[in-house]
Amino acid sequence: MRELFTRFREADPEPKGELEHSNPFTLLVAVVLSAQATDKGVNIATRPLFAVADTPQKMLALGEDAVREAIKTIGLFRNKAKNVIALSRKLIDEFGGEVPDSREALETLPGVGRKTANVVLNTAFGRPTIAVDTHLYRVSHRLPLAPGKTPLDVELGLEKAVPEEFRLHAHHWLILHGRYVCKARKPDCPRCIVSDICRFEPKTLPGQSPPPGADPEDAPLQE
């Protein structure tokens, strides 16, 4: 475990999430919008949105119809627009317009589950939380690191297994590794910096793919 994360740290000492944001509120909204959507697609939609609404007050003033129009290219945009307005209102009414820095408080906000709360706590507040998305879930099982039947199993397993010095950045390293190297249908094993300590079989060789059924396409993980 220590060798694996040492290599990740040497390759990318300060990994960052790919959702564009300017403050904890825009980060929160971006993560809510990213459920079952790509970061790239969310960024395209939120650039003009955040240019005019980067606080709960401005978002609430914009209104649900305008938010829905702004994010209509994102999956589930109608329900997400409703949640963005509702969470903005709740932040104003109950939290003084500020994003709270506790998981319990974050999970009371509309559209926010444990995974979203963990991303916000980690990225906005520097907490060593681990947000398990579909990429991290896959990588954790393939290496394997902390296999589990649910995202929560994997999260709790990693919290125990990852050495403390790596915990702050652990989920970013694993997510990015799963997104760009240890991909679902064709993992790029020749480019993997931990392939020699990974126990996933069959590894891909140049020009080859795993046989059918070796590792099916990821199912979206729910909050």
Q: Where are the domains of the chain?
A: 24-125
Please give the pLDDT value at position 85: 98
198 among annotated binding-site residues: yes
Please give the pLDDT value at position 223: 52
- Neighbouring residues of 178: CB distance < 8 A, sequence distance ≥ 6: 134, 135, 136, 138, 139
- Residues 91-127 have pLDDT tens digits of 999 999 999 999 999 999 999 999 999 999 999 999 9
Mean pLDDT over 125-146 rounds to: 95
CB 119 within 8 A of CB 107: no
Give the distance from CA 70 to its chain's centroid.
22
So what's the architecture of 24-125 in CATH? Answer: Orthogonal Bundle (1.10)
Which position among 16, 101, 115, 215 bears the catalytic label?
115
- Residues 73-89 have pLDDT tens digits of 999 999 999 999 999 99
205 among annotated binding-site residues: no
183 carries an active-site annotation: no
Please give the pLDDT value at position 161: 95
161 among annotated binding-site residues: no
Q: Which of the 8 DSSP states describes residue 197?
A: T
29 among annotated binding-site residues: no
- Residues 3-60 have pLDDT tens digits of 999 999 999 999 999 999 999 999 999 999 998 899 999 999 999 999 999 999 999 9
Please give the pLDDT value at position 205: 52
- pLDDT, greater one: 206 or 53: 53
Residue 71 to residue 201: CA distance in whole angstroms: 40
- Residues 162-203 have pLDDT tens digits of 999 999 999 999 999 999 999 998 899 999 999 999 998 866
115 carries an active-site annotation: yes
Which position among 12, 65, 80, 133 bears the catalytic label?
133
- Neighbouring residues of 6: CB distance < 8 A, sequence distance ≥ 6: 166
Please give the pLDDT value at position 221: 55
Residue 145 to residue 6: CA distance in whole angstroms: 15
